[in-house]
Structure 1
Amino acid sequence: MELGIDGNVGLVTASSSGLGKASAKALARNGVNVVVNGRDEERLAEGVEDVRDAATEGARVVGVSADISEEGEPARLVEAAVDEFGRLDHLVTSAGGPPSGAFLETDDEDWYDAYDLLVMSVVRTVREAEPHLRDGGGTIVNITSRSVKEALDSLVLSNSVRMSVVGLEKTLSEEFAPEVRVNAVLPGPHETSRIRELVEQGVERGEYDSYDDGMEDWSSGIPLECVGDPRELGDTVAFLSSNRASYINGVAVPVDGGAGASNL
């Protein structure tokens, strides 16, 4: 399917690994010039190479190191993207999850850190990107989690704080329309480096007999009986960013193999 975004410019936050990188690769496969972002310089360099390897001929990929949870860094990131390419058409916001734990195991600092990481990073990046996105009729896709629809055990920070991003996404879909479309995706478990690491650690501790045994455990309760392929999540993000999705605005799309129990 031709998405009609060849030659556009996209910025994907926290995209040196995980689902952010999968989204950056999907945009690059469709001819988008992509800015890859991360905090760790070595991981960022590896992520940039991975995205370049996926890119179609002519699509450029650059990396910008920035900690999106820090005030001022999102503005610098957007400025770097516009300086490099002269425009910005698509913003994809992503961020790693906050630490797991029960409510009584968290303190005020944990809550403020989670809010800066998951919410203020989006607020600040969108604020800086908005005038550039309006110029060309751009898009925003927020990667959050299925935990906004169904609270997950031992994830009180993610369950609570990520809901703010979906509230923001829905509000912006009205405030920024018709020039800018704003949507969200709600991933369930995907076979990212983080899940692979957790499974491998489980094998080392003797919790699983093998890697396949661990992945089967992660697939438990998912109707499709497997965790997600990050590439397919990235393809969903690219579709929502494209002209093929021109009448999709203000939605939050679960990408979880049917694992969620919510009716809506």
Structure 2
Amino acid sequence: MDLQIDSNVALVTASSGGLGKAAARALVQNGASVVVNGRTEASLDATAEELQAEAADGATVLPVSADLTDPDDVSRLIETTVDEFGGIDHLVTSAGGPPSGPFLETDDEDWYDAYDLLVMSVVRTIREAAPHLRADDGGTIVTIASRTVKEAVDQMVLSNSVRMGVVGLEKTLSQELAPEVRANAVLPGSHETERVENLIEQGVDRGDFDSYEEGYADRVAEVPLDRLGTTEEFGATVAFLSSPLSGYVNGAAVPVDGGSLGSNL
């Protein structure tokens, strides 16, 4: 399927690994030039090299290191993207995830750090990118959040609480930036990523599970499709929401979780 994003420019934050990397891979494979971002230059350069080898003809991958909690770094990230490619057509925001744990073991610093990482990083990036996204024929924003905004998950108080701010922002932007810019969110469940591996290991360390295998099986047990998602499936969803083929989808929060959500809305 031709997603009609050849020669477009996309910026994907926190994309040196995990679901951000999956989104960047799908976009560059479909012909968009992509700026990938992370804090560690070595892993970021390795990601850029890997994705460039998979890129469609004419698509370029540019690594730009930046700390999304630093406003100056965010400004430089946007400026570098525009200087290199002349504009931004698609923005995908990703910011990793906060540590797991229960409410009574989460202190004030944990809360402030989570808000800065998950919400303010998105606020700053979109604020800087908005004029470029609105230029010419307009563009798209896809915010990567989590299924926890629909249904609270045990031991994930920070994600359950703070990520809801990102979806509220996305819904607001779908109105304020329209019609030039469409804004949508994706709500991933468990996928085969290092983040999920780390969460399972944290559960083992807390004593929630006797082994990694037990923790993995516990995650799969809640998924009607009886497996975790692949990063390729997730990336394809983001690329579709960034493309003209989803041109009437705006302000949506799309679960990508194999049907594991128990909520009706």
TM over 0.5: yes
Compared with structure 1, are the counterparts of its residues 253 and 201 closer, same or farther at alpha carbon in structure 2 (3 Å cutoff)? closer
Q: What is the match of residue 115 of structure 2?
A: 115
Structure 2: gaps of 5 or more residues: none
Which residue is equivalent to 1:16?
16
Q: RMSD of aligned C-alpha atoms?
A: 2.0
Instruction: Please list, as runs of the form range in 1=range in 2, the aligned pairs for 1:154-193 lying within 5 A after superposition.
Output: 154-193=155-194
Counterpart Cα distance in 2 of 1:122 and 1:261: 27
Q: Is contact 1:202–1:208 with CA below 8 Å preserved after alignment? A: no
- Are 2:147 and 1:146 equivalent residues in the alignment? yes
Aligned residues: 262
SS of residue paired to 1:35: strand
Which residue matches 1:82?
82
**Inter-partner Cα distance in structure 2 for 1:172 and 1:219:** 34
- Per-residue displacement from partner, 1:150-192 (whole Å, max 9, x unpaired)? 0111111111100000000000000000000000000000001
Identity rate, percent: 64
1:65 corresponds to 2:65: yes
| Whole-angstrom CA distance in 2 between matches of 1:209 and 1:133 | 43
1:220-264 alpha-carbon deviations (Å, 9 max, x no partner):
111100010011111000000001001000000000001111101
Tell me if the contact between 1:70 and 1:116 (Cα under 8 Å) persists in the aligned partners.
no
Q: Which residue number in structure 2 is paired with residue 253 of structure 1?
A: 254
With structure 2 as the length reference, what TM-score do the two structures score? 0.93
Following superposition, the deviation at residue 202 of structure 1 comes to 8.8
Q: Which amino acid aligns with 2:29?
A: R
> Aligned in 2, Cα 1:113/1:62: closer, same or farther, shift over 3 Å?
same
Give the partner amino acid of 1:116: D
Deviation at 1:106, TM superposition (A): 1.2
1:38 aligns with 2:38: yes
C-alpha displacement at 1:209, in angstroms?
8.0
1:228 aligns to what? 229
Distance in 2 of aligned mates of 1:97 and 1:195: 10
